[in-house]
Amino acid sequence: MRLFPRSAFGQTVFFVGALLLINQIVSYISVTFYVVKPTIEQVTLMLSKQVKTVFIGVNDGIVLSPEITEKFYLATGVEVMSEAQAFKSGLEMASEYPMLSSIMSKQLGGPARVRINQAKKLVYWVESPQAPGFWVRVPLMGFKETQLEFLTFYLACIGVLSVLGGWLFASQLNRPLKSLQDAAVKVGVGDYSTQLIERGSIEVIEVTRAFNQMSKGIKELEEDRRLLMAGVSHDLRTPLTRIRLATEMMSDDEDYLRDGIIYDIEDMNAIIDQFIEYLRHHKVAELINEDLNALVSEVVSSEQKKLRMINTELNESIPNIPLSHVAIKRVVTNMIENALRYSDDDIKVITGLEKSKKYAYVAIQDKGPGIPENELERVFQPFTQGDLARGSEGSGLGLAIIKRIVDMHNGIVTLKNMPEGGLEAKVSFLVKQ
């Protein structure tokens, strides 16, 4: 188990708490040795004098009479009892203190025992060497238990306020870093709109300023890239259209050539469409709670016109989840088209909830050749295609488009080769964001 926190906030709170703990320990030791111990020694010295007063003349053969002890008790509150009487009066509830016994022994000139009872009020019990078997009961009438309660309350308040102050300090110190983390996550999914306020320590301000400059530069680079690719894609359509018109004027004996040219033109148009689609999804529209099953059913109904069997298993317990309808429809369509393109048998579309019920998913399963395990992550990169076993047509942007859209929904997309053969493409979305 890891005790030392990894976050800057946790480390700051940990160090502040450790310093406060060390300060409390040092304060406790200082108070104990320089305040409490001298006070206890002084109290023990005073008690030893009272005990000596009680037993004046005992060593000379004088026996304490009940009348004398009664008068002494009425005058001072100090009472002498036999051991049996002492046990009846609460001696058995008292705890023995060797350190106090040692101090008392030095003061009384022989082995003495000191016991303290703190049940209702503080009571010292002393067995002196002058009268073994007899116990002197000394109540400390000026001491109140509420004083200890107040001291405990004071120390607890100091500890809580110190930790709270450390927490507030660490929170204030790490707030800019948390904002920086959130903004970095947004940049990672293509949102470059966040400009952070430069606040905090000098180092944090410098990091924030550098991040803002980096985000601005990436945004400009992304816009230039989209403009360049959109311009190229648009400009290519004009000569392709002219070529298509020219092929229509070819003679009938050149049908084989015309068909080949038309096929290539349609393939190039499809690639251009994918370029534009990839560029279009640099951000998604506002997310609205959607019925995932209804969306999947809509796509499946459209795709079944291609005369291929698409089996569905829809989990009706899936709640509405926040989605961009058009974008996710494009994702499901792309996944189904891939399954249809790379397999000849029926395909299956499944919806459901993960065991934790935190994610809802759509899975498309085909019975094609699959993808080598070492290629499963690489195929999500733009302009990358899978193994030749699944064909080599297209631009290699389909899965990149899917991943970009799913990432913008804070979702997860995975590919998995099934044990019985075929590939499962699965996208998962947070039920509540």
- Cα(310)–Cα(346) distance, rounded to whole angstroms? 6
Q: Is residue 326's pLDDT more than 60?
A: yes
Quick one: pLDDT at residue 4? 64
Beta bridge partners of 137: 79, 125
Quick one: pLDDT at residue 62? 46
Quick one: pLDDT at residue 144? 47
Quick one: pLDDT at residue 277? 65
* CB neighbour class for 152 (10 Å; exposed up to 12, middle 13-18, buried from 19): exposed
pTM: 0.47
Quick one: pLDDT at residue 389? 40
Residue percentage of the chain with pLDDT more than 70: 79
- Cα(82)–Cα(134) distance, rounded to whole angstroms? 5
Where is pLDDT greater, at 371 or 380?
371
Ordered structural domains, the chain, with CATH: 8-143 (no CATH), 222-280 (1.10.287.130), 288-430 (3.30.565.10)
- In degrees rounded to 5, what are phi and psi of residue 364? -115, 125
Average pLDDT over residues 393-414: 78
pLDDT digits (tens, 9 = 90+) for 288-322: 888 999 999 988 888 877 667 889 999 988 899 98
pLDDT band at 119 (very low <50, low <70, confident <90, very high): low
pLDDT digits (tens, 9 = 90+) for 70-116: 666 676 677 788 888 888 888 888 888 888 888 888 888 888 888 88
pLDDT digits (tens, 9 = 90+) for 225-253: 777 776 777 677 778 888 878 887 777 77
Q: Is residue 148's pLDDT more than 60?
A: no
